[in-house]
Structure 1
């Protein structure tokens, strides 16, 4: 009777189990393990992850397998390679990605000339999730969420009215003062203070007319055209962490998306 064939080294029986189908390539399994470590906060945004050699030894696979996993993570903007320095966890604090989820651009000039937004926090409170909010954030109806309402002004002009909801368990202690005084993107605050990094988002956009309360907050006439943008943002492993609904004025700004 012929001896059973042994699998190639990268698919040895000692390879890590990550709950993926048996046919999943090993580099995808290693990618999943790295994502688990990112989600658990083993390496914080902006910090270096171990070298390919160290990760290969940790997971008992080849460096080529680790490299392929990191290639995919880099392509998804989850990590960034720096020549001669190593691989780092991506962060919204980096200049080239800090506003990558905000696609609203001024009609005149560019975002750098316009400068950062001025935030007016209208409300920040802990509430029970409605069925709709709970469904979006994969919570149970009645679970605690943080609900925030704010106006963002550019150049002194109120431009965006936003409502957003965050899982209460992940954002304990978030206050209106923190949101108002933080310098830089709010997602950087979430990274530094709560260990939550938003890595991707889905948006729905439609045209609406401003009702009386919305028009008052945005200093517009009632019925003025607005863009309604609903965004669901996710952290690692597609865990939803924020539902955001924004109303964008269109008389001074436009929505821009680069397609490739």
Structure 2
């Protein structure tokens, strides 16, 4: 891939500053942008090792310390993972610690591993046209193709989550119900493997609602049962929205957990 490296002089005024960032940005931030661009372009896949700090320093013609600072920030943002004695790797949702960043509904016992993965029942997986609000959220035009999925997630045979997902149709061309139901790992890991789309962060809105008749039937609860409504927009690199997910959670035996820092 073609990249314009900063000059060997580690200063913000160096010639050849990355066009994607202001000229006055610190040099390590410019290197961070270049590394992020390589991640976005798929030069290094999720789970793969990236070149060493020495190799990257030579590639970008900067000091190793500048590269290390850029990688430190990317690791803090959970985009890269450092492994002692092995190197630095592209984070993947197949790894447990990354997976649990996006898993918020926890059994009251607190033991996620004992509960095991959710059983997935895909009720619908179809191509559709984006409505105005879906298009706006996903950065599309009204009428653009989307993949629409409805599924129920159960734990121990008990329906617990009713989810509706909307995904950009061009990025997820060919996605079908069999893939959604049959993949044994996290859904976001399947998106990485099958479609090269990595979700790196998400924003959520939460409110309490009462189950309507259809929702109650699907979740096997009484109508008007209190549910937790969670709307999530998940983003890939450079804050490109790639998923709108609206979930209804039964919280009789589970709770929603968030960690603030």
TM-score class, shorter-chain normalisation, is over 0.9
In the alignment, the residues of structure 1 paired with residue 8 and residue 198 of structure 2 have an alpha-carbon distance, to the nearest angstrom, of: 36
Corresponding residue for residue 90 of structure 1: 91
Inter-partner Cα distance in structure 2 for 1:118 and 1:138: 31
Report the 3-state secondary structure (helix = DSSP H, G, I; strand = E; otherwise coil) of the residue aligned with 1:113: helix
Provide, for residues 9-49 of structure 1, a one-character-per-residue CA deviation record: whole Å limited to 9, x for no partner: 12364444232112111111110111111011110000000
Q: Distance between the aligned counterparts of 1:194 and 1:16, measured in 2?
A: 32
* Cα distance in 2, alignment partners of residues 166 and 253 from structure 1: 27
Structure 2 unaligned residues grouped into runs of 5+: 1-6
- Please give the alpha-carbon distance, in whole angstroms, between the structure 2 residues aligned to 1:115 and 1:48: 29
Asked whether 1:139 is paired with 2:123, we answer no
Separation of aligned partners in 2, 1:108 and 1:212:
30
- Give the distance between the partners of 2:38 and 2:85, measured in 1 at CA: 23
**Number of aligned residue pairs:** 254
Q: Partners of 1:36 and 1:186 in 2: how far apart?
A: 24
Query: How far apart are 1:250 and its partner, in Å?
Result: 1.4
Structure ID, larger Rg = 1
Q: Tell me the distance in 2 between the aligned counterparts of 1:101 and 1:84.
A: 28
Q: Could you say which residue in structure 2 is the equivalent of 1:149?
A: 150
| Residue of structure 2 in register with 1:117 after alignment | 118
Q: Is residue 245 of structure 1 aligned with residue 246 of structure 2?
A: yes
Once the two structures are superposed, the pairs formed by residues 1-260 of structure 1 within 5 Å of their partners are 9-11=9-11, 13-260=14-261
Extract unaligned runs of 5+ from structure 1. Answer: 1-6
Partner of 2:4: none
Task: Answer whether contact 2:78 2:98 (CA < 8 A) is retained.
Answer: no
TM (normalized to structure 2)? 0.94
Q: Distance in 2 between matches of 1:68 and 1:94?
A: 24
Cα deviation, 1:151-184, whole Å, max 9, x if unaligned, reads: 0000000000000111111111111000111001
Contact conserved, 2:202 with 2:235, CA < 8 A, in 1?
yes
Q: Is the contact between residue 116 and residue 154 of structure 1 (CA under 8 Å) also seen in structure 2? A: yes
Classify 1:13/1:148 alpha carbon distance in 2 versus 1 (closer, same or farther; 3 Å): same
C-alpha distance in 2, partners of 1:254/1:102? 11
Structure 1 length as normaliser, TM-score?
0.95
Deviation at 1:227, TM superposition (A): 0.2
**Larger deviation, residues 48-57 vs 207-216:** 48-57
Measured on the aligned residues, the alpha-carbon RMSD in Å equals 1.3
* Residue 196 to residue 8, structure 1, CA distance change in 2 (3 Å): closer
- Counterpart Cα distance in 1 of 2:254 and 2:109: 8
Residue pair 2:20, 2:33 contacting (<8 A) in 1 also: no
